A and B are shown apart, each in its own frame.
Chain A
């Protein structure tokens, strides 16, 4: 990024440079600021107000946050949602990313046939809408006509079956695993691309030295793609703490059973837009959104300042 500027460009008159900058950057920055940054700031501002039934807004400072974090009626569902979101994220980190890395490793093995076919098929679920994903997994896992029970019985594990989607201690895990199933294609693709970038000389040299593929992977390839794994992790973090679609589509805004599958996204939706007989509360909703943003910000900063610095980047 810190390239020396081309001589010809540097010698351009300043006014002309400014004009060019405006032309090329203007539209992008304008749309981005107007529809991404400004709304975020507006939401944070709205969270400092409260409204009454007839629609009048009054400034209350940080009162909404005090209520959200202190008043049990609000704080308990909030912390429940935050905690669930954390579990949701951990499942993705522990299941989705390792599987993605493993699949990428397998696909990048030299001389593998049918690469394109596998890549396409494994990436397919990522392209589906949550309605399809939710419906098909609901059907598969349903205790009434589901195939899961039959499949488990056929290998003698019938006793393991339970209505996982409906039990409080398994609902969130089940949904998280379904989400992993859907999105594993993304880390797989990104890490696969990074693995392809490793020059063959390195791996060839290792093979000449007698190392097997597995050891080559763990000792040479993996360390070299750590920066990409880092980026995948932070994208997973942002994506998970922003998640909403799958849970809303399968469980509805109430995210049952007994809020066991409630995450910050569904909590925000319910608060801001209301649900069934519960009327929407725009100011508390804005407060929830602000807190969500702060959580993500803290996570990203932690990553940038603690982890990113320590990752070594290799260029070839």
Chain B
């Protein structure tokens, strides 16, 4: 009896070993495509090791491309069949295009997908809302990061309204030690992303305005949008001399060298400034227009999808499900403060600046950037146009009215919202 049960156990162990061996033999390597070459260190030192604690047999390689070339390079690789198993997804139409070309798999049945809200998934869902094709990973929040020493010098506190904001700007300009607003227009995108999309939601009332733009009820020529451009145009006198040739890295350097006071920011800047600024920094959200409800730009930015041509889909799906776990959310949020996880899980963020920014979600209503969903599909490309006109408005080359008109005219050429 004993012998036979021992024998049975031995056989069972052997079988288990065989099965485990088979499983291990099938576990392969996963390659991740991404534009976040900034994060390469974190992935290799923190995230992948954490994944390997749960799945030690799956090797993961994080293989980023330079961000400016990501779309072109990724498309070339996808068409040529040499792309990685996991694709970092840009929000909305760029990834929808990949899904339509059958290069991304639908992920409705993926374990863990129910841990995300509809809003979180909206950036990676088909228009009819039926299929999601990327796991939401992180969103970024917009606001203003400031040099606390500068504010102390002029005796200012965080502004709540635009009027207070301008009072501070005037005081800073009079004082002269610091450049009041640290932004340049040479790269164009800051004017649109940290300017227009940052303060804008307070003017067009967040998701309401965005939905109305899509449905055609509101137009870029409406007064609330022109008001945003007017506000942007008023920033020029408070920006550094020669800001027209100031590029994004210049703005970062100006701030971290302690020469500027207020930096219109995306939450991703927290990581950079933590490493390089030698003075205390704080953050305040976009000031409201004379009181009223506040809105913040809380933009679904990064997701991860499954390459339809992947040879290792089982392991890839394990990885994607792991991305949906609270453990990953906690790890990611703390390894990369400024990128906020989108899952419903509660996460404690240790970096106080990042914690403050994510805390704005409780005080204000969130909205995503209004140029990304649906209205970005035609020619001229709305987002590129927005970059162009925002930069020109701040440069003084385009009036706020003309800016709104250019955007709307471009949109009307191809966009005919179903009435």
| Contact residue among A163, A164, A281 (Cβ-Cβ distance under 8 Å from B243) | A163
CB-CB nearest in chain B for A281 = B379
Chain B residues contacting A162 (CB-CB under 8 Å) are: 242
> Within 8 Å CB of B189, what residues of A?
276
| Residues on B with beta carbons closer than 8 Å to the beta carbon of A138 | 247
Binary flags per residue of B357-401, CB closer than 8 Å to A gives 1, else 0:
000000000000000100010011111100110011001010000
Main secondary structure of the interface of A (DSSP, over half): loop
Contact digits for A156-182, partner B, Cβ 8 Å, 1 yes 0 no: 000000111111100000000000000
In the complex with contacts A165-B186, A166-B186, A166-B246, A54-B101 CB distance below 8 A:
yes
A164 with B101: CB separation less than 8 A: no
Contact A278 B388 (CB under 8 A): no
Of A53, A144, A274, which contacts B246 at CB under 8 A?
A144
Rounded to whole Å, the gap between the CB of B152 and the closest CB of chain A is 24
Taken together as a complex, chains A and B put the C-alpha atoms of A277 and B299 apart, in Å, by 15
Question: Contact at A277–B241, with CB atoms within 8 Å?
Answer: no
Q: How many residues of B contact A (CB 8 A)?
A: 45
Are B240 and A257 in contact, with the CB atoms below 8 A? Answer: no
Give per-residue flags for A126-160: 1 if the beta carbon is below 8 A from chain B beta carbons, else 0: 00000000000010011111000000000000000
| A165 and B384 contact, CB distance less than 8 A | no
CA distance A143 to B410 in the complex (A): 34
Q: Tell me, in angstroms, the Cα distance from A143 to B243 when the chains sit together.
A: 8
A104 to B147 alpha-carbon distance, docked (Å): 54
* Residue in B245, B372, B410 whose beta carbon sits within 8 Å of that of A142 in the complex: B245
Q: By the criterion CB–CB under 8 Å, are B379 and A74 in contact? A: yes
Is residue B94 within 8 Å, beta carbon to beta carbon, of the partner chain?
yes
User: CA–CA, A55 to B78, complex, Å?
Assistant: 13
Instruction: Give A278 to B384 CA distance when docked, in angstroms.
Output: 8
**A218 interface residue (CB < 8 Å to B):** no
CB pair B384 A258 closer than 8 Å: no
In the docked arrangement, what's the CA distance between A256 and B100, Å?
A: 32
For residue A163, which residues in chain B have a CB less than 8 angstroms away from its CB? 242-246
A53 close to B97 (CB less than 8 A): yes
Interface size class of A (residues with CB under 8 A): 20 to 34
* A258 and B388 alpha carbons, distance in the complex (Å): 6
A142 touches B383 (CB 8 A): no
Report chain A residues within 8 Å CB of B71: 273-276, 280
Closest to A275 in B: B384
Any B CB within 8 A of the CB of A188:
no
Closest to B384 in A: A278
The distance from the CB of A56 to the nearest CB of chain B, in whole angstroms, is 11
A254 touches B384 (CB 8 A): yes
In the assembled complex, A73 has its CB within 8 A of some CB on chain B: yes
Which residues, 247 to 264 on A, are CB-close (under 8 Å) to B? Answer: 252-254, 256-259
Kindly identify which residue among B90, B250, B384, B413 contacts A73, using a CB–CB cutoff of 8 Å.
Answer: B413
Most buried by A among B100, B254, B384, B391: B384
Q: Which among A53, A143, A253, A273 is the interface contact of B100 at CB below 8 angstroms?
A: A53
Q: A257-B188, A276-B383, A277-B381 are in contact. Are A144 and B250 (CB under 8 A)?
A: yes
> Is A279 at the interface (CB under 8 A from chain B)?
yes
User: Which chain A residue lies CB-closest to B187?
Assistant: A252
Q: What residues of A have a CB within 8 angstroms of the CB of B68 in the complex? A: 252-253
Given A254-B384, A256-B391, verify A166-B101 contact (CB < 8 Å): no
- Taking a contact as CB atoms under 8 Å apart, the answer to whether A279 and B94 are in contact is yes
A276 touches B384 (CB 8 A): yes
Q: Are A258 and B381 in contact (CB under 8 A)?
A: no
A285 to B380, CA, bound (A): 15
B242 touches A277 (CB 8 A): no
Q: Are A279 and B93 in contact, with the CB atoms below 8 A?
A: yes
Interchain CB contact under 8 A, A256 and B93: no
Bound-state Cα–Cα, A166 to B245, Å: 4
B413 to chain A: closest residue by CB: A73
Measured between beta carbons, the chain B residues less than 8 angstroms from A256 are 186-188, 388, 391
User: A281 to B120, alpha carbons, bound, how many Å?
Assistant: 29
Nearest to A248 among chain B residues (CB) is B68
Chain B residues whose C-beta falls within 8 Å of the C-beta of A273 in the assembled complex: 71-72, 75
Decide yes or no whether B185 CB sits under 8 A from chain A. yes
B residues in contact with A74, CB < 8 Å: 379
B344 to chain A: closest CB distance in Å? Answer: 28
The distance in angstroms between the C-alpha atoms of A275 and B387, with both chains bound, is 12
From B100, B242, B254, B387, contact of A166 by CB (8 A): B242
> Which residues between 35 and 53 of chain A lie within 8 Å of chain B, taking CB atoms?
53
B interface vs A, CB < 8 Å? 68, 71-72, 75, 90, 92-94, 97, 100-102, 184-189, 240-247, 250, 253-254, 372, 376, 379-384, 387-388, 391-392, 395, 397, 410, 413
Q: Which residues of A contact B (CB under 8 A)?
A: 53-55, 73-74, 138, 141-145, 162-168, 252-254, 256-259, 273-281
What are the 3 A-B residue pairs with the smallest beta carbon separation, nearest first?
A: A143-B242, A166-B244, A163-B245
Can you list 25 A-B contacts (CB < 8 A)? A53-B101, A54-B100, A55-B101, A73-B410, A73-B413, A141-B245, A143-B241, A143-B243, A144-B246, A144-B254, A162-B242, A163-B242, A163-B245, A166-B184, A167-B245, A256-B186, A257-B186, A257-B244, A257-B391, A258-B391, A273-B72, A274-B71, A276-B381, A277-B381, A277-B382
